[in-house]
Amino acid sequence: MAKGGFWVEHLINLKINGEPYKVSLKPNTTLLDFLRDEIGLTGTKKGCDTGQCGACTVLLDGKPINSCLVLAADANGKEILTVEGLGRNGKLHPLQEAFIQEGAVQCGYCTSGMLLSAKALLDEDPDPGEEEVKKAIAGNLCRCTGYVRIVKAVLVAARKMGG
Amino acid sequence: MLTKLREFHYLEPSTLSEALSLLDRYDGKAKILAGGTDLIIQMKQKKLTPEYVINLKKISELDYIEYNGQWLRIGPLVTHSMVANSPIIQKNFPMLVDACLAIGVPQTRNRGTLAGNLCNASPSADTPPALIALDAKLKMESSDGERVMDVEDFFSGPFGTVLKNREMLTEIKIPSLSEWSGGAYLWVPKITAVDETLVGVGVLITLNPDKRCKEARIGLGSVGPAPIRAYKTEEFLKGKRIEPDLFVEAGEIAVSEASPRSREDYRREMIKVFVKRALGQALRKIEGAI
């Protein structure tokens, strides 16, 4: 802690969508604000900002978390995956394709978080049943679709990916 | 932005003794960060505005689940997901897995810790009733030394504990279950975004070979200002032959030990239902194991 300077910037190293970042930030920056405002990755959405809606879900070392409740400083040394890192080489991820194909996107605000919760599920269980999908997305609120098409899209993607 | 965090000093000690001396130095001005799923929300709501935030995550000695056949020991960095996914806990303490899975959603379970769930001391927390039934002990440490207490004595009221500013909850200890014991944690949530628990009941019974109750432990959650140990119900069951006829009366006694403040009728009814059902499940588990 520097003398005189009361609120000190904190230096962190982390990987976001496979790319290394070395940045200095204020400790009161959440991972969500850091991703959106400092890195410019606005695919991660801010909904309630208090851990209830799941719009800000990203994967931290492969596990879904609410980025609004994580200090960016606390992500030091971690790997973050946001929706921008889902597709590869200009191609959409099978989950994204299935969401479009099945009409699982309406206003789209919950979609990024939904996709990441679904990705974490399929990474762990490539062939989930409907119940498993519902449990995996229980922390992602959607106020448009009624979830039916989202659940179907995840199951369709799982089949396509060979689960 | 209303949810913007106020500024604070961010500290990352790498040993427990360093963390305890920071708590000592910043007596009352510091908060401990483990999972952050409660702390960060309360800081956003300005209910807490610590000058110092002490992040424990660099302290690897606080991150463990160990079982030696006599005691299960859980460190303060262990998350709900880690508990739920632990083969040791699944095999020996399934009730604790159920209580951890009752907590919110994957995002919260992946981040929030068992120790944090206790320290936040929400009256509706899921793990205290299960831990009361499991006879859990809590170890608290400060620079001056340590003390150990039963989990049911840890809570002082809604969101209050007996933990002093300079103290940290450093371990949750659960004794191995004796032969002929079985338990269950049952709960019902409010239907809201976060599915907060409306009634949670943890029951553990141990029988003698003649099927008489040797020991009963019952924890009630979300039906009073703090988690409740249902001593009278336990006494009622002790020494009696455990048969379904007893379960209804046990449920009624448990209701008399609770003091729900809202949705009273529903909560009282559900205590009866869950005590009865949990005793039935516990009995079936014991009978299945014999």
Q: Which domains does chain B have, with CATH numbers?
A: 9-55 (3.30.43.10), 60-175 (3.30.465.10), 181-289 (3.30.390.50)
What ranges do the domains of chain A cover? 10-85, 94-160
Provide mean pLDDT across the span B77-106. Answer: 96
Question: What is the tens place of the pLDDT at every residue in B237-272?
Answer: 999 999 888 999 999 999 999 999 889 999 999 999
B114-117 contacts: CB < 8 A, separation 24 or more? B114/B74, B114/B78, B114/B79, B114/B80, B114/B83, B114/B172, B115/B34, B115/B74, B115/B75, B115/B76, B115/B77, B115/B78, B115/B169, B115/B172, B116/B34, B116/B35, B116/B37, B116/B38, B116/B39, B116/B76, B117/B38, B117/B80
pLDDT score for A5: 39
User: Above pLDDT 90, what percent of chain B?
Assistant: 91
Q: List the structure tokens of A111.
A: 């979609």
Residues of chain A in contact with residue B107, where contact means CB-CB under 8 angstroms, are 51, 54, 57, 64-66, 117, 139
Q: Which of residues 50-79 of B touch A (CB under 8 A)?
A: 53, 55, 57
Question: What is the tens place of the pLDDT at every residue in A17-35?
Answer: 999 999 999 999 999 999 9
CB B88 within 8 A of CB B94: no
Q: Is the pLDDT of residue B1 over 70?
A: no
Nearest to A81 by CA among A28, A120, A127: A120
Put simply, whether B47 touches A (Cβ < 8 Å) is no
Residue B179 dihedral angles phi and psi, to the nearest 5°: -60, 155
- Dist. CA B84–CA B109, nearest whole Å: 9
Q: Indicate the pLDDT class of residue A1, thresholds 50, 70 and 90.
A: very low
| CATH 1.10.10.10 holds for A10-85 | no
Mean of pLDDT over chain A: 94
Question: What is the tens place of the pLDDT at every residue in B114-170?
Answer: 999 999 999 999 999 999 999 999 999 999 999 999 999 999 999 999 999 999 999
| CATH 3.30.70.580 holds for A94-160 | no
Global ipTM: 0.94
- Dist. CA A1–CA B9, nearest whole Å: 8
DSSP label at B153? G
Which of B7, B8, B105 lies at the smallest CB-CB distance from A139? B105
CB A24 within 8 A of CB A9: yes
Could A65 and B7 be called an inter-chain contact, meaning their C-beta atoms sit closer than 8 Å? no
Question: What is the tens place of the pLDDT at every residue in A87-130?
Answer: 988 999 999 999 999 999 999 999 999 999 999 999 999 999 99
CB B103 within 8 A of CB B117: yes
Provide mean pLDDT across the span B18-43. Answer: 97
Residues in chain B: 290
Question: What is the tens place of the pLDDT at every residue in B49-62?
Answer: 999 999 999 999 99
Question: What is the tens place of the pLDDT at every residue in B159-215?
Answer: 999 999 999 999 999 999 999 999 999 999 887 766 789 999 999 999 998 889 999
DSSP code string of B222-256: SSSSS-EE-HHHHHHHTTSB--HHHHHHHHHHHHH
What's the 3-state SS for chain A?
CCCCCCCCCEEEEEEECCEEEEEEECCCCEHHHHHHHHCCCCCCCCCCCCCCCCCCEEEECCEEEEHHHCEHHHHCCCEEECHHHCCECCECCHHHHHHHHCCCCCCCCCHHHHHHHHHHHHHHCCCCCHHHHHHHCCCCCCCCCCCHHHHHHHHHHHHHCCC
pLDDT score for A7: 56
Chain A residues whose C-beta is within 8 A of a chain B C-beta are 1, 6-8, 10, 26-30, 48-54, 57, 60, 63-66, 68-71, 73-74, 117, 120, 135-136, 138-139, 141
Q: Is the pLDDT of residue A2 over 90?
A: no
Q: Is the pLDDT of residue A3 over 50?
A: no
Question: B236 CA to chain A: closest CA distance, Å?
Answer: 38
Task: Look up the pTM and report it.
Answer: 0.95
Could B40 and A70 be called an inter-chain contact, meaning their C-beta atoms sit closer than 8 Å? yes
- Dist. CA B246–CA B268, nearest whole Å: 18
Could A74 and B55 be called an inter-chain contact, meaning their C-beta atoms sit closer than 8 Å? yes
Size of interface A-B (CB pairs under 8 A): 90
Mean of pLDDT over chain B: 95
Could A139 and B107 be called an inter-chain contact, meaning their C-beta atoms sit closer than 8 Å? yes
pLDDT score for B168: 98
Q: List the structure tokens of B73.
A: 């020991």
Provide mean pLDDT across the span B12-18. Answer: 97
pLDDT score for A4: 38
